[in-house]
Amino acid sequence: MNDKSIGLDLNDVVAALKQVLPTDQEAVPLHEPLFGGREWEYVKDCLDTGWVSSAGPYVSRFEEDLARFTGLKRAVAVVNGTAALHTALLLAGVKAEDEVLVPTLTFVATVNAVRYCQAVPRFVDADERTLGVDPVKLRRELAEIARFTPEGTVNSRTGRRIKALIVMHTFGHPADLDPLRDLCAEFDLDLIEDAAESLGSYYQGVHTGHWGKLAVLSFNGNKTITTGGGGAILTDDEDLANRAKHLTATAKQPHPWAYRHDEVGYNYRLPNLNAALGCAQLERLPELLAMKRALAGRYAKIFSGWPGLAFVSEPEFARSNYWLNALLLDENSGSQRDLLLELTHQAGILTRPAWDLMHTLPMFEPFPHGDLSTAEDLARRLVNIPSSPVLGQAISGRV
């Protein structure tokens, strides 16, 4: 528990966390929503007017507000982030047996969406600086396996078309997007940004979502803003946005009364009730981001110069929303990760490890990958710590 020989005293880590977190709670959740704006008012309006389902004014308003905040031309609201990813892949033209490059260090939804298209995930490694896709390593890998054909880029080892790259902004920290976009142009790949965790994060001063053909957001209950469940597809391509709207509304053709559908569609529409909640949350997003950055700043100060671990900070080229704060144990202390998780939970601090790497899950084990040693190393050393905006209220002065 207190192994000084490897430089990390876990009791001291727990004590440091307690300096930041409230002491009057039995348990401090990893992440919880913060309501305090016009949520009640807008949801009550839905109930009073009867517009609670997949039509209503708050859906359009939410889409317009999202587009305005992110700087993209269009946002299409859907029922969750996974539905947004699935739709984005369909819009990008991903077909059965295509290969899609995906990070192994990600949430399972990223890869599930690929399999919904009956496509083949090819797992790629992480960059320790960003926790996102490593552009240098991926370029080296593609240079070895890619073959250019009139039908697109083909994996010379499998014979399958490599159609797209999904880049996930891990814990809200933007991946290094410029070289990844250049790589996609060089190898004729569609770039899709899984920005589910990065609403309010900026790369080179521009909101995430602008580098790919499409991007997606999530508004699950644990995200920076929430609609209960919900997601969105972002794009600057009006035609793609219109097609997204059509596909996610069961591919129903407009008509005053007839139910005519012109292709297989999906009932992925976001209910007005959820969108109303999102509109109220989005109004407070700048405040929520300030609270989260204040919390991250406090953690960074507390853990500055610690032997055995480091606070995971935003890359130098980015401004992160710090959706989920993390500690990274060093090489010598990595073996203590599980004990740290146990001790923090005993203290009522609900930490968690990173996700199990995707290539280790039984349903994804058969799929191809190159060297994933960085992601494997990071996964055994990462610990997520409480990150709710409410924890940053007093620090930011926004009570």
Per residue in 87-103, pLDDT tens? 999 999 999 999 999 99
pLDDT tens-digit series, residues 298-330: 999 999 999 999 999 999 999 999 999 999 999
Mapped onto helix, strand or coil, the DSSP state of residue 17 is: helix
The closest alpha carbon to 329, from 359, 354, 349, belongs to 354
pLDDT tens-digit series, residues 355-383: 999 999 999 999 999 999 999 999 999 99
Q: Are 74 and 235 in contact (CB under 8 A)?
A: yes
Average pLDDT over residues 145-149: 97
By DSSP bridging, strand 231-235 and strand 74-78 are antiparallel
Beta bridge partners of 349: 28
The closest alpha carbon to 385, from 352, 356, 354, 357, belongs to 352
The set of residues, in sequence order, having a beta carbon less than 8 Å from that of 9 and lying 6+ positions away, is: 2, 3
User: Phi, psi at residue 157, to the nearest 5°?
Assistant: -90, -30
**Cα gap 306→196, rounded to integer Å:** 31
Taking the model in full, what pTM does it have? 0.95
- Is the pLDDT confidence value at 398 over 60? no
User: Could you tell me the domains of the chain?
Assistant: 2-34+285-396 (3.90.1150.10), 39-283 (3.40.640.10)
What is the DSSP-derived secondary structure letter of residue 9? Answer: E
Copy the structure tokens of residue 374: 């960085």
